[in-house]
Amino acid sequence: MTSDKTRQRFALTRRQAMTGLGAMLLAQPGCANAPASSQRPPVRPGPDGLRPLALAQPADDLVRAARLSGEMSFAVLDSATGALLEGRNPDLALPPASVTKALTSAYALDALGAGHRFRTRVFATGGITGGVVAGDLVLAGGGDPVLDTDALADLAAAVRRTGITSVQGRFVVYDGALPRIAQIDDEQVVQAGYNPAISGLNLNFNRVHFQWTRRGGDYDLVMDARSQRYQPRVSFATMELSGQGYPVYTFRNGEGRDRWTVARAALGSNGARWLPVRQPALYAGDVFRTLAQSNGITLGAPVVSATAPQGTLVAEHASRPLPELLRDMLEFSTNITAEAIGLSASRARGARPGSLAASAQLQAEWLRQTYGLSTLRLADHSGLGAASRISAADLAGFFSQTQRAGVLTPLLRTLPMRDANNAVVGNHRLEVAAKTGTLNFVSALGGSFDVPDRPRNLSFGFVAADLPRRAAIPESQREAPPGTRDFSRNARRLQQQLLERWAVAYG
């Protein structure tokens, strides 16, 4: 979901132990006087792991060799001063993709605070006599983006420990802590699990697990809400086989359910995938009802409400602290985490945005005022939508300021450096704390690094995008369009070559 999918896990470095370096400085002026061409560093032995190609070639040669279509913007700054050292179209604004999540992290930490935890609660609106709730039982979401089935099971068990066994009133599911949003980005394919709905009550990143097993000439189709310890089947989401070849998946809401079809010819033998949930509160209510039943608690069908509950607190689940959620979000690039946290941050500032765009505009305005990001325009908090824009100079400036203040660097993962065969170099001396971003025909990177053996830190931003080529992708190819893998691979190779070059040229 760094873009259009989840990235591999990598360990964080010693930068986790960094402490604050003082108050954040104001943003530097725009980079109108960027160098027209790159300096050629002297050819000399470099730190271990830095390839000779990076030492000998200027950036212009590296860019030409990458043969990337579309437009490109990059900039590298001295983190201590904010001075521009090198750039190519540094003020050109392009989509930042999932690098947006780094901007959202700073916004959320400022608005919510490092000690913030999301809370999911259960209330009883009437008295409890002999294990029977006289009123309603309410499952109340608090906007937690990482609530999973295991946590919901623990919550159901906690309710049972109070002695509750049944409810005279309704089983109510409250989702009003955040606005109801049907999906993050309208341009994604319908089956994209990284593009789910969002509400004040979210479960399993608002994804349902679909598994198919071939039995002779037919299939067993199972929809469940699995996590590490539990995998309860769900009745809320249904799947039917279709005889059509395209589209592979279709979706519609019907009678309080997410109703899916899948083309029989596309299934093959056995397999599984995650599908997005479009009615998150009903999904969570369905799963909680099943888990309550396993604990001897009888509940009716869930009824969704946007009205905050009044009653007696029965049980509560608290998420991990916000910095831990942000670290995972930045590592795995989970879109729903970014959106739920960004919406929660806007609400914490006293706003009531009804859409992702409205909340993202509030975030962009705060970032412009706080960091001087004059080119920034945001369509969402995750970067999944391609309508967002920022220049490489502004990205580099943002990472320069947060690096000086120690605000964000401890949460960023270490970028894996690779050799000519694309294998990760385990002993590479260049440790880059960064956030990647990838969309179809868009590749972005931003972060900072210490120059090996030098008391200097550099911050950078990079965005390459072929927006006409992206816009021309037919709907039938949006999940894996031809050419986008080569574009991303070439962009990542160029990014590393530039990082290695900068480490030597400006060390």
Please tell me the predicted confidence (pLDDT) of residue 428: 87
Q: For residue 247, is the peptide bond before it cis, meaning its omega torsion is within 30 degrees of 0?
A: yes
- How many Å apart are CA 440 and CA 429, to the nearest integer? 31
The neighbouring-strand residues paired with 129 are 132
What length is written for the chain? Answer: 507
CA distances to 4, 53, 429 from 64, in Å: 27, 14, 26
CATH of 14-27+47-114+322-505, one of 2.170.150.20, 3.40.710.10, 3.40.720.10, 1.10.3720.10: 3.40.710.10
Q: Reduce the DSSP state of residue 430 to 3 states and report it.
A: coil
DSSP H or E stretch at residue 372: none
On the 0-12 / 13-18 / 19+ scale of CB atoms within 10 A, 351 is middle
- How many Å apart are CA 253 and CA 411, to the nearest integer? 38
Q: Which residues of the chain have pLDDT under 70?
A: 1-56
DSSP H or E stretch at residue 398: helix 392-405
Please tell me the predicted confidence (pLDDT) of residue 444: 98
DSSP 169-201: S-EEEE-TTS--BS-S-TTS-TT-TTS--B-SS
Q: pLDDT tens digits for 212-230?
A: 999 988 999 999 999 999 9
Please tell me the predicted confidence (pLDDT) of residue 287: 98
Please tell me the predicted confidence (pLDDT) of residue 416: 93
- How many Å apart are CA 441 and CA 70, to the nearest integer? 9
Q: pLDDT tens digits for 18-58?
A: 223 222 222 332 333 333 334 333 333 334 444 444 455 78
What superfamily does domain 118-319 belong to in CATH?
D-Ala-D-Ala carboxypeptidase C, peptidase S13 (3.50.80.20)
Query: If you search the block for the tokens 């009745």, which residue do you land on?
Result: 235
Please tell me the predicted confidence (pLDDT) of residue 422: 84
Domain boundaries, the chain: 14-27+47-114+322-505, 118-319
- How many Å apart are CA 88 and CA 393, to the nearest integer? 9
Look up residue 25 and give its two tokens.
């400085």
